[in-house]
Structure 1
Amino acid sequence: MYNDSDRIVEFPALKQAQEKLDERRKNLAGILTEAGPEYDMAQVKSLSGDSTAKVEEIRKLNDEIVDCKKKVDEYLVVARAAAEAKANEGGSEGGDGTKGEREREHKAGGPLNLGKAFAESLAFKNYQRGSGMGPQATLDISVKTLMETPVGWDSEDLRTGRVELMATRPSVHVAAYFPSTTTTMSAVVYMEETTYTNNAAEVAEANQAASQGTYPESALALTERQEPVRKIATFLPVTDEQFEDEPRAQGYVNNRLPFMIRQRLDSQLLVGNGTAPNLRGTENVSGIQTQALGADSIPDAVYKCARKIRDNGFAEPSVMFIAPSKWESVRLLKTADGQYIWGHPSMVGPFTLWGIPVVETTAVTSTKVVLGDYANFSELAMRRGIDVQVSNSHADYFVNGKLAIRADMRCAAIHYRPKAFGTVTGL
């Protein structure tokens, strides 16, 4: 049926056509909802057959919707003509007839002409150019389907270009304190003095008693040591399209992979267990000094460990590594009257403990403090720096349009004098 003001024109054919159109549209919407945003036909359970058969059913349903829409449009033309004729019989036009005509157009489901409605309004007709103001008018227009973001014109947004990286431990906190050298060998080989017996003493002249004139004998012995060169490596699978369609993707990957290598190196220099293919980190070097925290405060235990390094290793610690969570308790130490012991909060770094530079890093075991004379008795020997390569020859990457981007480096970590290093345990 067709509505015009308070009058009703009975039109069963239009009603049936509209109901059929609504039903077909609802069926199609349900199928597309089942398929999801990827239009996966395997997810559509309301249709039978394979993907080809289901697509054919969708096509048929869409054709039916087009046919139904044509029928509705045809019936609407007849309905409008009938409503117009009936309205004219009652003389419902007002004034020049434009308002009544517009209301009939609108209520008959005709197209909404906003420009025409405004041009016929008092606001437009009574406007005086240059007056700066004019009468107001309200346009009685009902929009059946609101044009809004979900169903209307979506705004076009551009990315800013910023890539916010995952929060992760920064690299080169530890490696920066190892003197760096190069090597062309597969291992760094050196000699360590493992016997040093000094019996030097005063002797009398030769004409004195034999026991007083004999030179005391001392002893020296050397042992060959070596640290093998190890490889740190990783790779990342990337599609051809990523590098072709996004210019920044290649630079992002080329920067991120080397960062992963350096980050792993930092960890290995402190906690590597030395078992192939691991490097040997300071914590696992045999013969280093150890000091248990026990009932001591962290500053006291660190001082005792540093004193052992000075007493037995005859070295001066150049840096100490501690987890941020443990350094916090030291940094917040206060006197009884609330004064910060290790400096006011406004004090800027670098921080020191007993004159030893402090490096906060999560690369160190959280229950330990590692310190030592890295400046004089450690070395990071580079066989080859970080190398990044790209290939599609991995597995089935060639036929699948994928690339394998790999990065690696080869190096050896050496601690020449174990007693020049130490750990505080039990934090």
Structure 2
Amino acid sequence: MSDQIMKALDSVEVKLNAMSVKADAEMKELGKISTDTKAALDTIGIEQRTLADRLLAIEQKASAQPDAAPADETAGAQFVKHAAYDNFIKQDGRVRTRIEVKNTVTNTIAGTFSERRPGIVEGAWRVFTIEDLLVSVPTSSNAIDWLRENVFTNAAAETAEGAQKPESSITFTPGTMPVSTVAHWIKITRQLAMDNPALAAYINRRMVYGVNIRVESQLVGGNGVAPNISGLTLAGNFTAHGYTAAALTGLGLMATNRFDLIGKMIGDCAAADYPADAVILNTADWWTMRLAKDSQGRYLLGDPGSTVVPTLFGRPVVASNAMTAGNVWVGSLSQAATLHTREGIAVDLSDSDGDNFTKNLITIRAERRLALTVEKPAAARYGALLPA
């Protein structure tokens, strides 16, 4: 099609040159271009532009590449469809390709069958929710520095005319949190990558999942010792709820009633001017509460057929195995902490890791870089779900 358009353009060019010569002659002889000649020039010009537009459209269609994979594609699907992955499999291996447990996975391990069921029987997959509730900002640095308010003494008061105004004071505590790298790797054979792209894509998806599950565990329980993340439940990143069984009983509450304790923690956050926007519980603890019944055998939290988002006292509940069983975190995630993303998930391939080249192996590495800063420990309460 493009060859035909080029021939048509050449023909138009010849006609345009001929008419230009005619127009020049008329200008010399008559001092103007005749109406017929001008009309012919306009017609040829329109034809030339039309053909040029058609040719441009064909070239753009032929060279067009999608900017990004469809939003509903998994990381694994994007992995095997990526041009860089295809180039890596086809090349001689001397050039490394970058695309934005300890065993070698082979076709033998995957198994050979005369009849294979479609797809792969997957292992456990956690649904991640904590990260979605955090304020997330990008960073280009390898460390985050911030100032945390220590003590604010508010002396604001009504003042008589001409009298000395009261002075308030604020003290700060500096904080620094290095950006952490969460990563892992696995080896597969080149033959598997070439012969079983579905399994290779699954492995890639597992690699991404492995990074994210570690990130969630660190966001909640990271001990803050480099290269670990400083998690929400690390001492100094929260205010202890401070309740004992005796204290709850003294308030007319039941020490064994998890609802009473969580309600008090939500109330304490509100009293401190940090209204709670989330409750984080261990998954098993949440289901213990979700299945609680009254004396008539009715579920306290509503009909089991309900599809309502889990909540307690109007606050969303985040049930995660990252939270230590028997403990509870209540607070304002939007005010207490900030997630800083240095790099999103990156997957790298290399056949030059160790003896990969001689053994026809490919190392797949997945990693991401991030930091969590907890600026307002007063915006969170944490402690035992059933205090002693």
Note whether the superposition's TM-score is higher than 0.5: yes
Give the distance between the partners of 2:334 and 2:223, measured in 1 at CA: 22
Deviations 1:288-319 (A, max 9, x none): 1223463241111111112222223x211111
Give the number of aligned pairs.
264
CA contact (8 A) 1:323 1:360 kept: yes
Partner of 2:294: 335
Whether 2:334 is the aligned partner of 1:393: answer no
Alignment of structure 1 residues 132-171 onto 2, 5 Å: 157-168=114-125, 170-171=126-127
Alignment of structure 1 residues 354-365 onto 2, 5 Å: 354-365=313-324
Give the distance between the partners of 1:193 and 1:426, measured in 2 at CA: 28
Shift of 1:171: 4.3
Whether 2:201 is the aligned partner of 1:255: answer no
Q: CA 1:289–1:194 in 2, change beyond 3 Å: closer, same or farther?
A: closer
Shift of 1:337: 2.2
Match of 1:412 among 350, 353, 371: 371
**Greater relative contact order (Cα 8 A, min sep 6): structure 1 or 2?**
2
Partner of 1:192: 148
**% identical equivalent positions:** 28
Shift of 1:422: 1.6
Aligned-residue Cα RMSD (Å) equals 1.9
Q: Which has the larger radius of gyration?
A: 1
Partner of 2:169: 219
Greater CA drift, 399-408 or 337-346: 337-346
CA contact (8 A) 2:138 2:340 kept: yes
Q: CA 1:399–1:193 in 2, change beyond 3 Å: closer, same or farther?
A: same
Give the distance between the partners of 1:236 and 1:287, measured in 2 at CA: 34
Match of 1:319 among 268, 278, 285: 278
Q: CA 1:157–1:287 in 2, change beyond 3 Å: closer, same or farther?
A: closer
Q: CA 1:247–1:202 in 2, change beyond 3 Å: closer, same or farther?
A: closer
Greater CA drift, 375-384 or 197-206: 197-206
Whether 2:371 is the aligned partner of 1:421: answer no
CA contact (8 A) 2:258 2:385 kept: no
Greater CA drift, 336-345 or 236-245: 336-345
SS of the counterpart of 1:225?
A: strand
Shift of 1:160: 2.0
Tell me the amino acid that sits aligned with residue 311 of structure 1.
Answer: A
Match of 1:231 among 153, 159, 181: 181
SS of the counterpart of 1:233?
A: strand
Partner of 2:59: none
Shift of 1:279: 0.5
Deviations 1:38-71 (A, max 9, x none): xxxxxxxxxxxxxxxxxxxxxxxxxxxxxxxxxx
Shift of 1:227: 1.9
TM superposition score normalised by structure 1: 0.59
Partner of 1:298: 258
Q: CA 1:334–1:280 in 2, change beyond 3 Å: closer, same or farther?
A: same
Partner of 1:126: none
Shift of 1:368: 0.8
Give the distance between the partners of 1:327 and 1:223, measured in 2 at CA: 36
Partner of 1:35: none
Give the distance between the partners of 1:327 and 1:426, measured in 2 at CA: 11
Whether 2:191 is the aligned partner of 1:241: answer yes
Tell me the amino acid that sits aligned with residue 203 of structure 2.
Answer: V
Give the distance between the partners of 1:411 and 1:383, measured in 2 at CA: 5
Give the distance between the partners of 1:299 and 1:275, measured in 2 at CA: 34
TM superposition score normalised by structure 2: 0.64
CA contact (8 A) 2:327 2:383 kept: yes
Give the distance between the partners of 1:264 and 1:385, measured in 2 at CA: 14
CA contact (8 A) 1:335 1:341 kept: yes
Give the distance between the partners of 1:234 and 1:203, measured in 2 at CA: 63
Give the distance between the partners of 1:217 and 1:361, measured in 2 at CA: 46
Give the distance between the partners of 2:277 and 2:310, measured in 1 at CA: 13
Partner of 1:181: 137
Shift of 1:285: 4.7
Give the distance between the partners of 2:343 and 2:265, measured in 1 at CA: 35
Shift of 1:348: 1.7
Tell me the amino acid that sits aligned with residue 406 of structure 1.
Answer: R
Deviations 1:359-398 (A, max 9, x none): 2211111111122211233221110111100112222222
CA contact (8 A) 2:179 2:342 kept: yes
Shift of 1:287: 5.0
